[in-house]
Amino acid sequence: MSKSFLDKLIERRDAVKTEMDAILEAVATEDRTDLTVDETTKVDSLVEESRTLDSKIEKMKAQADADAKTNEIRAAVADVAMPKVGGATVTREARTYSPNSDASFVKDAFNAQFANDYAANERLSRHMREEAIERRDIGTAQFEGLVIPQYLVDLAAPLARAGRPFADFATNKMTLPPSGMTLNISRMTTGSSTAVQVTQNDAVSETDVDDTLLTINVRTIAGQQDISRQAIERGTGIDTFVVADLIKSWHTTLDSQILNGAGTAGTIKGLRASGGNAITFTSTAPTVGLLYPKLADAIAQIQTNAFISPTHWVVHPRRLAFLLAAVDSTNRPLVVPAANGAMNAVGVGGAPTYGNSGYQMLGLPIITDANIGTTYGTTTNQDEIYCVSANEAHLWEQPGSPFALRFDATGAGNLTLKSVVYGYAAFTAERYPLAASIISGTGLSAPTF
């Protein structure tokens, strides 16, 4: 491994960065918002060369690391033959990016792209290698951008969001194929037939099978935020809040789409728009007693029309509260904790939690999801109850989504950087639309307590 060759690569990478900076500074100095055709061509060429150089530098650095590892092994073998006294052994190495680390993922992503910070590049490379080990089943080689550290995903965002309960608990989750913007499923519309043969040697029943193509669109969900250079370079924790909020917003939007999306204008075709067994609950003075037969009907409709069994109820938190608040004629609650040894209860459960509530009705677990609309119906104050089969609510997500983070100097003249979080997803409940039941109507108007 020639060290001088690596030095030449790094020097050329620095030169490329200097050329790019000169072009962008000229644009800023002239107070322009766009590059000329020649400048665009030059920048594209420099970006391509920069990526090639980065790849070569990374490969040579990996080789250097491998050489260093070999030397460590040789030294360890030598220590066995001639043990040394003293020294220290590293038993656990902390991850590059964590809530307690000094390094900031967002700052490093910024400095690596705009400041040609070799140390930041090295930390990002080490982080990607850590992710490659952590996500063996996915493989970071499939990721086009940087993998966002898990702790950023888990951190609570400043703004409370509804999250993705339906997506997590009541869908059949799959990996989105690496290419293409549509998924195609063959759906049989006419099946074969069998019948009793009346007389020997008579022709047996025959019906030609027919199918239609179910096309599922892959949709893009994205968000962006303009951040000042000062906030990234000198702020404390600002970058974490911004990215965490974008990520949480992405997951909330996905969940809302697979419930409510119309399938038009770039939206996902969600559960409501996919058909389902329509069950109307009409009442000006709704009670749990009046609702209960509709719940049984929702299950019966699925079993009768799709010949499968549902797995979940998906309701708005206020609808679960409506159930919990209900009492009988002697003021005994109708939905009670299972620990109380319930008798003749409509539903049972434990302490209510958001998402997988811990309660069930008619043997099916109740999922609470605040992304369910509360402005349905002519009175614009109704929510809906969904009875679903998880195996027939199909969700495809790109591995690691939202998996990319970019910084674009769209506001260089204002010292403004743009951070973008995006990912791809597809959903369908149309393989067997009648595998879901949708209860709606005036009986599901806003409850009072």
Per-residue pLDDT of the chain (449 residues; tens, 9 = 90+): 445 677 777 888 888 888 878 887 877 777 777 778 887 888 888 888 888 888 888 877 777 777 777 666 666 555 444 444 545 454 556 778 777 777 777 677 767 766 677 788 888 888 877 766 654 443 333 334 555 666 665 554 457 889 899 999 889 999 999 889 999 999 888 999 999 999 999 999 999 989 899 999 999 999 988 877 777 776 656 666 777 788 889 999 999 999 999 999 999 999 999 999 999 999 999 999 999 999 999 999 999 999 999 999 999 999 999 998 998 888 888 877 765 556 556 666 666 788 888 888 998 999 999 999 999 999 999 999 999 999 999 999 988 778 656 665 666 677 777 778 899 999 999 999 999 999 999 999 999 98
Query: Which backbone phi and psi does 319 adopt, to 5 degrees?
Result: -75, -40
Q: Quick one: pLDDT at residue 165?
A: 93
User: Is the whole model's pTM more than 0.75, yes or no?
Assistant: no
Domains recognised in the chain with CATH numbers = 3-148 (no CATH), 155-191+203-449 (3.30.2400.10)
Residue 113, helix vs strand vs coil: helix
Asked if the bond preceding 402 is cis, omega within 30° of 0, the reply is yes
State whether the Cα torsion 138-139-143-145 is positive or negative: positive
- In whole angstroms, what is the distance from residue 114 CA to residue 227 CA? 14
* Residue 246 confidence (pLDDT): 87
> Coil, helix or strand for 135?
coil
Place of tokens 């998996």: 403
Q: What are phi and psi of 324, to 5 degrees?
A: -65, -30
Reported for 17-20, long-range contacts at CB under 8 A and 24+ positions apart, including other chains, are 17/50, 17/116, 19/46, 20/46, 20/47, 20/50
